Amino acid sequence: MRSAACPVQLAVPLSTAFVTITGTALVTLALGLSALLVIAITLGVAIAGGIVARRTVSSVLTGVGLLLIRPYAPGERLLLHLPDAVVEAEVMSIGLVNTTLATPDGVLVVGNTYLLRGMPLPPEAARTPCP
């Protein structure tokens, strides 16, 4: 089995964002700040979190784009440009953040960002094991 790109994990970043944003809103409310200030501080924390979690946010937005535009469908064959070769793969499923492909070497899970942009997978993704 070959892993060309680590799947994007969604549960931990989303739960962390929810807890952080909700906690910020509750703390600022408990301090007795005005509603406008509570909204401004909470929005600032949400924007900062989005910047920090840009890979996850990018993958989710790309996944939504893939699901709406549907440039690929399960059963279609694609050519993936890996750092050392071009591999033919069949789309098994398209998810919100990752796409599962069947290759001659096994199952490959690729972040949707690479499929929608049509860009080659980064060299480090082909050599780095997923956590």
pLDDT per position as a tens digit, 86-106? 778 888 988 888 888 888 888
Is 94 contained in some domain?
A: yes
pTM of the complete model: 0.56
Is 33 contained in some domain?
A: yes
Is 118 contained in some domain?
A: yes
Domain that holds residue 115: 1-123
Is 51 contained in some domain?
A: yes
The model's pLDDT over 4-19, given as tens digits with 9 standing for 90+, comes to 445 556 667 777 778 8
Sign of CA dihedral 30, 36, 39, 42: negative
Is 131 contained in some domain?
A: no
Is 130 contained in some domain?
A: no
Return d(Cα 123, Cα 4) in angstroms, integer. 9
The model's pLDDT over 16-52, given as tens digits with 9 standing for 90+, comes to 778 888 888 888 888 988 888 888 888 888 888 878 7
Bridge-based pairing of strands 98-103 and 106-111 is: antiparallel
Which amino acid is it at 131? P
Query: Burial of 42 by CB count in 10 Å (0-12 exposed, 13-18 middle, 19+ buried)?
Result: buried
Report the number of distinct structural domains present in the chain.
1
Tokens representing 84?
A: 């050392």
Q: Which of 120, 87, 70 is nearest to 111 (CA)?
A: 120
Is 6 contained in some domain?
A: yes
